[in-house]
Amino acid sequence: MRKFRELRWLVASLALVALIGAACGSDDEDPGAGGNGGEVEEFGADTTMGKIQEAGTIKVGVKYDVPLFGFKNPQSGDVEGFDVDLAQAVADELGVELELVEAISDNRIPFLQDGTVDVVFSTMTITTDRDAEIDFSRPYYIAHGRILTSKDSGIEGAEDTAGKRICTALGSTYETVVIPEQLPDAKPRIVDTYSECFQLLQRGQVDGMITDDVILAGFLQQDDSMQIIGDNLTTDPYGAGVKNDDTEMGDFVSGVLDDLLAEGTWNDLYEEWIGQYTGQPAEDPTDWTLEQALEEYPCVETC
């Protein structure tokens, strides 16, 4: 796994984020190494895993503008982060090369449905509505919803957002569930990406942005005039997305994640990408099942 580079390049990179398109990027490490000591299991030609092995490449959707999880380093051109390294582990287990595809909140599911990607690792919360359209792996990260605002905004919690311009990303649970239910009197500003929200916040064009705490922590590294405020508003179990009804592929990805958790690699990646910056211990995802994750977000649109 690649070592974390200093976050000082993030400040300079924000101006470049708006220029990042949906182009693919290759971020490969020693393809074919496998996660089991160099021996790669061969899968049947009728399985998704076998088809990926035949192609020699797995296409994984990740975000390119979320520090700590998936961010395109403007100095190296590499896309780096926690989600990226989990994607690399899946590629290694199949013995194939990793091809990254930028997948924002609003196109993650369409990309799986139309075959643009084979898997998504894109800070995606497991919800019942999404589970009606795709399948999920086991939960691999537990985040919590918070609000980021300037220190002089006067906003100290969700109760202070009435009439305030609160930004979040199109297609996120914050757009469809959290703002309507917990910030009903706020004025939502919905944009394509969280980096856009952050730029609007820095320019004073919105009063706050709402998303997962770990995403906000990455942006907070760039601007000490900001603060994360209020109590946890949500519990958000992240899962890797696979195509609907592809149970075998979902089980395979879950097995890779189980191995990373059991052998301690998951903890190492957490400290490398997240823990050293948030100062917080990891919330253990092994305490969660997929069924428990789905209970956190009952159906809203598919009922």
Lowest-pLDDT range of 3-7, 40-44, 123-127: 3-7
* pLDDT value, residue 5: 37
Tokens, residue 232: 């946890």
**Residue pLDDT, tens place only, 52-77:** 999 999 999 999 999 999 999 999 99
With beta carbons less than 8 A apart as the criterion, state whether 52 and 112 touch: no
Same fold yes or no, 8-142+238-286 and 145-229:
yes
Fold adopted by 8-142+238-286: D-Maltodextrin-Binding Protein; domain 2 (3.40.190)
Mean per-residue pLDDT for 180-186? 97
The answer for residues whose C-beta is within 8 angstroms of residue 17's C-beta and 6 or more apart is 64, 65, 72, 193, 195, 199
Mean per-residue pLDDT for 187-202? 97
* pLDDT value, residue 39: 86
Q: Rounded to whole angstroms, how far apart are CA atoms 58 and 55?
A: 8
* pLDDT value, residue 37: 52
Mean per-residue pLDDT for 181-186? 97
Domain definitions of the chain by residue range: 8-142+238-286, 145-229
Mean pLDDT of the chain: 89
Distance of CA 154 to the CA centre of its chain: 29
- Select the more confidently predicted residue: 303 or 19: 303
Please give the CATH architecture assigned to the domain spanning 145-229. 3-Layer(aba) Sandwich (3.40)
Angle at 218 between CA 2 and CA 273, to 5 degrees: 25
The amino acid at 45: A
